[in-house]
Structure 1
Amino acid sequence: MINAKTFLLIIFCLLVSSCSTEYQAEPQELDEWRVSTMAPRYYSAYVDILLITGEKKQGGWRGVVTKYTKLSTHPNSWEGRERYHSGYVIQSSELPGLVYIRWHSLANNVTYDKAIRISDDMRNKMREYHDIRCGKSNKLRPYKNNILLGLAPDGMISIFLNNRCFDNELQFKVQAVEYKVADDFVYPELSEEAQAYVDEHGVPVGIW
């Protein structure tokens, strides 16, 4: 016959086992991701087209990242508070196969465009589950689900993976090509502060 003390111990063990099983349940698959853009500080970019094709090539998405891209904290870096949540959010377990972007570099009044292929390796990194929490809320953020496009004024694009819990992880770089705009196209102006910086330092090439 089981005494009360033994019975309570069994119940406790079952409860602990149940909690442990719930905590170790299979993680949910990645079903939301985004494409974000950033320009170096003072070298503003204006994005007017963002097209994304799914990896299965059966559909795609078109959205606005934010016309004026977020700026990094330094002219020669891609770090910044907005680097992981300034983008176009897509709720889908299908990841991108191709990203097409066209943007206007306001520091030198040049327009660029580029189709960027996303590799299987990069998609696998996005789907990799990490049991990691961060931030004031200590919220679980297990995926590197933000594709950050660093848009340099010389047309170089740096492609990173990140999210709130992960720093920028450079995947590769590609060189965009100049896009011929209409003769009457008017480029938006830089801020006074940015224009003063560009007037003093110019538009470097090959540093991003």
Structure 2
Amino acid sequence: MSKALRLAIVVTFLLSGCTTANSASLPYKAWHLGFSAPNYMEVWIETADVIDTRGQVYRRAMSGVSAIQTPPNNSGHPKGWPKRPGRGKGKYVTGAELPKKIYVRWQSLAEQKTYQVSIDVPESTREIMRKQETVYCAFDGREINEYRDALVIGLAPGGIAKVWILGSCLPPIEVTRVQAEIDLRGPYEGKSDGKYYNLSDISRRHIEEFGIPYGSW
């Protein structure tokens, strides 16, 4: 972990006892934290830790695999992000206020590299997540009132982390794109003797034939 990233996390934790003006109660029961990855570019999320606007820390708010598609016969297209990303695979962060900072450490199985990043969530994003909007929902066949209660992080090779907020029917809004740093300790903070989580055969074959489309995310 770089000195800059370590310092940022330490400072945030030292301030974790402070209640801010941004800690208004949620207009819904909980918000959803989800993760996705480009086709075939599998990742394993070791931990996603959340610090909310009250300074409360939620360790391992999410871990494990992200949402991903691995179509057979190399028919998938990993370049770029979808115009309308989904909620990803994740969990509701129950009991938390809206996020102020999210720390993610993950294994890029396509590259056999470990990345870590600290993502700041601006107040402007939280304001949108608190705002109720009216939208036509095809699922219901009518207009509904809804919030953007989901925050989705796309993880791509090269250490790219892209963030959106969205609702079930409300379209996604891009929040930020962040460059992660390589964790030189390797997987599991150096506690696995360099062994990574397994990459599926279908993804491995695609990467061997077509490579990794760096620069497209």
TM over 0.5: yes
Q: Is the 8 A contact 1:160 1:168 kept in 2?
A: yes
Is 1:53–2:40 an aligned residue pair?
no
The Cα of 1:78 is off from its aligned counterpart by 3.5
* 1:36 match: 34
Give the superposition deviation at 1:129.
0.7
SS at match of 2:193: coil
1:201 maps to 2:210: yes
TM-score in terms of structure 2 length: 0.74
Indicate the SS of the match to 1:154.
Answer: coil
Matched residue of 2:64: which SS? coil
3-state SS of 1:112 partner: strand
CA distance in 2, matches of 1:141, 1:66: 31
Match of 2:44, SS state, is strand
Moved over 6 A (4+): none
**8 Å Cα contact 1:29-1:93 kept in structure 2:** no
SS in 2 for 1:147: strand
Amino acid at match of 1:148: V
Q: Name the counterpart of 2:22.
A: none
Q: Which has the larger radius of gyration?
A: 1
Is residue 2:156 matched to residue 1:152?
yes
Q: Give the match for residue 177 of structure 1.
A: 181
SS in 2 for 1:56: coil
Distance in 2, Cα, partners of 1:194 & 1:160: 25
Whole-angstrom CA distance in 1 between matches of 2:205 and 2:193: 25
In the other structure, the counterpart of 1:122 is 125
Asked if 2 retains the 8 angstrom alpha-carbon contact of 1:132 and 1:142, the reply is yes
The answer to whether the 8 Å contact 2:107/2:196 transfers is yes
The two structures have a TM-score, normalised by structure 1, of 0.77
Matched residues, number: 180
Unaligned runs of 5+ in 2: 1-25, 70-75
Distance in 1 (alpha carbons) for counterparts of 2:136 and 2:32: 19
Aligned mates of 1:127, 1:49 — CA distance in 2: 26
CA contact under 8 A between 2:42 and 2:199: conserved in structure 1? yes
> Alpha-carbon deviation of 1:39?
0.7
2:62–2:91 Cα contact (<8 Å) kept: yes
Residue in structure 2 matched with residue 11 of structure 1 by the alignment: none
Q: Is the 8 A contact 2:117 2:180 kept in 1?
A: yes
SS at match of 1:84: coil
Q: Deviations over 1:54-82 (max 9, x none)?
A: 1121x121235351111157412434998
Displacement after TM superposition at 1:120 (Å): 0.5
- Once the two structures are superposed, residues 59-118 of structure 1 have per-residue CA deviations (whole angstroms, 9 ceiling, x without a partner) of 121235351111157412434998215212023472111101100000010000011111
Task: Specify the SS of the correspondent of 2:209.
Answer: helix
